[in-house]
Structure 1
Amino acid sequence: MNVARRTDAVLLLVALVWGSSYLAAKTATAVLPVTAVLFARYAISALACGALAAVRRPERPWSRAEFRVGSLLGVTQAAVLVLETYGVAHTSAANAGLIISLTIVLTPLLDRVGGRRLPRAFFLAAGLCVVAVGLLTAGTGLHAPRLGDVLMLAAAVVRAGHVALVGRLTAGRRMDPMRLTNVQTVVGTVLFLPAAATHLTDLAHSGAATWAQLGYLALFCSVFAFLAQTWAVQGTSASRASLLLGTEPIWAVATGIGLGGERFTLWASLGAVLMVAGTYWGQSIERAHRAVPAKTADSPTRTSRTPASRTPASRTRASGARASGARASGARTSGG
């Protein structure tokens, strides 16, 4: 297997792991309170990241900016995971994975590329995703959305804001993604400890199956996925990485139906198809829209009027970093 194929395989494996995280979280929350699950996931991740940091040779000392940015992102990430985990506890794992993929089309709306208006086709793709959500939440017929679906929709909005914040806080700044993840996992552990304190006994007496699920969520959906993605995106383009990682909702549906025994109605199946199509369509439009300034970056007129720190090329690199590296910086550190 050549390097390109190996890189693609690793990125697909990361997407599979993240997609399967929704079923693992749903199964774990059936046994333990949500706060206990979140605390355990964060604590295990923090210990693993701390161990990796201890054996890693630092190229430079920690900066105050890494602590500040990591702490802020730790709070926003915790908000995402609270909504995701409560949401998946009250809906199907397949629905959770599909609805959260709205992040792909919501993020560009919050993080405008170069301040330019997005193409009309992008809003058509976003509208297609909204229709898909309606079909997914309708289930067997038109009715009020389930609590879990509403929470997952809120999680998609908050996660989009988190991803945009990652890009804005880290663009053009020398920050180690691993250190940011270390800080975020510690912040999450501290935040969820008070809420989980009364459930620590239940957590300690959980069965082997539950601990296996918690370990999978923390070590595979967090630590392994982060390291694997960080390695893989260095050997491919941002567009190809985002395309492969965008298969996450497909894997969420596959594991929900194949392993979780979940079933889709005809309308929900149509919603799933529209959601995948809409997110991929929106992603391709945004990617092409972002690449337009790069083609004219060599224009003498444009270059002479544009400060070096705000050139189209620098925007493209920063946006590319957001597209392929936002999760590596903490946008999806702990899975669904």
Structure 2
Amino acid sequence: MLAERRGDLLILTATLLASAGWLFSKEAITALPPAGFVGWRFLLAAVILLPFCHRALKATSPANLLKSAAIGLVMTLNLIFWIQAVMHSEGIGEGAFIMSLAMLIVPPLAWLIFRERPARQFWIALPIAISGLFLLTSGNGLSLSLGQLLFLLASMSLALYFCLNSRFARRVDPMALTCVQLAVTGVMHLFYSAAFEQWPEQVPGHIWGWFAASVLLATSLRFFCQSAGQKFSNVANAALIMMLEPVWTVLISVFWYHEPMPLQKVLGCLLILLALLSFRSRALYEWYRNRKAYKA
């Protein structure tokens, strides 16, 4: 039980760091080119993680390394949409909840790609999530703002990444897989930045502070805590704790950017959170039943 609690605490730390990463990124790209920022952030994070997984990388077959890199290209697409969405949005709270819908986009994608029919919980959660998304984004009428559209595209590409990665992740050490995919994402963004972006001649010192926090805390330490926590934390526990990331992000956005959260948006966020909980209800019930049986 002590190991499980330690795992839960590591997962909670990872969600807090991920939420803070939204703030670090938004502040950093006020002076840094978005793709260049993401490129250096992820490449440096991969270098920092390398000493912790170099043995696992050596033990991984070239074929699996190549497949890891290929899935990293999907992560690259996801980060392109995400950083552009962050740049075009005034706040980051509603974006975090839109991104959390990726969990509910995975089942239909798996159905389409791998012919895996979604569980009954998905069909219960779907109308709740759609209602929540409508309330969250209907401030502009029936049309989505550019930031909201980009966040939705980022959510879809993240779901595709989850769908492919979950099929492959068991074959490779989690830390090694993360390191390869971070490196691929970083290199691809730097290629894009070299071709289409221009770096400013001078960057204010405090911007480098946000950049360092993004690399060290929101990327390297976050993925380390997540990988370590998943070794000890119960699957249902981890899923439940990771659902809190958009909640922390909303609180950060309201505090830092004074993002308006009228009742309609609050209800939309609550409905999305309810949809995620109902989708995970079976896993949570199984965890509770097993825990009760263990105590007995």
Length-normalised TM-score, structure 1: 0.76
Determine if contact 1:249/1:276 at 8 Å carries over to the other structure.
no
- In 2: Cα distance, 1:83 partner to 1:118 partner: 29
Q: How do 1:200-211 residues align onto structure 2 when only pairs under 5 Å count?
A: 201-202=199-200, 205-211=202-208
Q: How do 1:81-120 residues align onto structure 2 when only pairs under 5 Å count?
A: 81-91=79-89, 92-112=91-111, 115-119=116-120
**Distance change in 2, residues 1:68/1:206 (3 Å):** same
**Structure 2 residues without counterparts, runs of 5 or longer:** 291-296
**Structure 1 residues without counterparts, runs of 5 or longer:** 296-336
Length-normalised TM-score, structure 2: 0.85
Q: Counterpart of 1:242 in structure 2: which amino acid? A: A
- Is 1:277 paired with 2:274? yes
Shift, 1:162, TM fit: 0.7
Of 243, 257, 267, which residue of structure 1 is paired with 2:254?
Answer: 257
Determine if contact 2:106/2:162 at 8 Å carries over to the other structure.
yes
- Is 1:155 paired with 2:154? yes
- In 2: Cα distance, 1:88 partner to 1:284 partner: 31
The aligned residue for residue 165 of structure 2 is 166
Shift, 1:99, TM fit: 0.3
SS of the residue corresponding to residue 163 of structure 1 reads helix
Shift, 1:166, TM fit: 0.5
Determine if contact 2:95/2:148 at 8 Å carries over to the other structure.
yes
Determine if contact 1:24/1:217 at 8 Å carries over to the other structure.
yes
Higher-RCO chain (CA-CA 8 Å, sequence separation at least 6): 2
Shift, 1:104, TM fit: 1.5
Shift, 1:87, TM fit: 1.0
Deviation digits for residues 120-168 of structure 1 (CA, Å, limit 9, x no counterpart):
x5223112111211211123x5252111101111111111111010112
Determine if contact 1:104/1:283 at 8 Å carries over to the other structure.
no
Q: Counterpart of 2:47 in structure 1: which amino acid? A: L
- In 2: Cα distance, 1:67 partner to 1:7 partner: 27
- In 1: Cα distance, 2:87 partner to 2:70 partner: 26
**Distance change in 2, residues 1:117/1:32 (3 Å):** closer
- In 2: Cα distance, 1:183 partner to 1:258 partner: 35
SS of the residue corresponding to residue 264 of structure 1 reads coil
Determine if contact 1:38/1:192 at 8 Å carries over to the other structure.
yes
**Distance change in 2, residues 1:115/1:192 (3 Å):** closer
* Percent of aligned pairs sharing the same letter: 24
The aligned residue for residue 34 of structure 1 is 34
- In 1: Cα distance, 2:168 partner to 2:11 partner: 25
Q: Counterpart of 2:23 in structure 1: which amino acid? A: L
- Is 1:76 paired with 2:77? no
Shift, 1:40, TM fit: 2.0
Q: Select the structure that is richer in helix.
A: 2
Of 187, 207, 211, which residue of structure 2 is paired with 1:214?
Answer: 211
Deviation digits for residues 202-235 of structure 1 (CA, Å, limit 9, x no counterpart):
2x73223222222222222222111112221222
Determine if contact 1:15/1:248 at 8 Å carries over to the other structure.
yes
The aligned residue for residue 193 of structure 2 is 196
The aligned residue for residue 294 of structure 2 is none
- In 1: Cα distance, 2:137 partner to 2:234 partner: 35
Q: How do 1:296-307 residues align onto structure 2 when only pairs under 5 Å count?
A: none
- In 2: Cα distance, 1:79 partner to 1:270 partner: 30
Q: Counterpart of 1:252 in structure 2: which amino acid? A: T
Between 153-162 and 207-216, the greater mean CA deviation after superposition: 207-216
**Distance change in 2, residues 1:26/1:254 (3 Å):** same
Q: Counterpart of 1:28 in structure 2: which amino acid? A: A
- In 2: Cα distance, 1:38 partner to 1:44 partner: 10
Q: Counterpart of 1:265 in structure 2: which amino acid? A: P
- In 2: Cα distance, 1:126 partner to 1:58 partner: 39
- In 2: Cα distance, 1:134 partner to 1:59 partner: 44
Determine if contact 2:46/2:220 at 8 Å carries over to the other structure.
no
**Distance change in 2, residues 1:94/1:117 (3 Å):** closer
Shift, 1:31, TM fit: 2.2
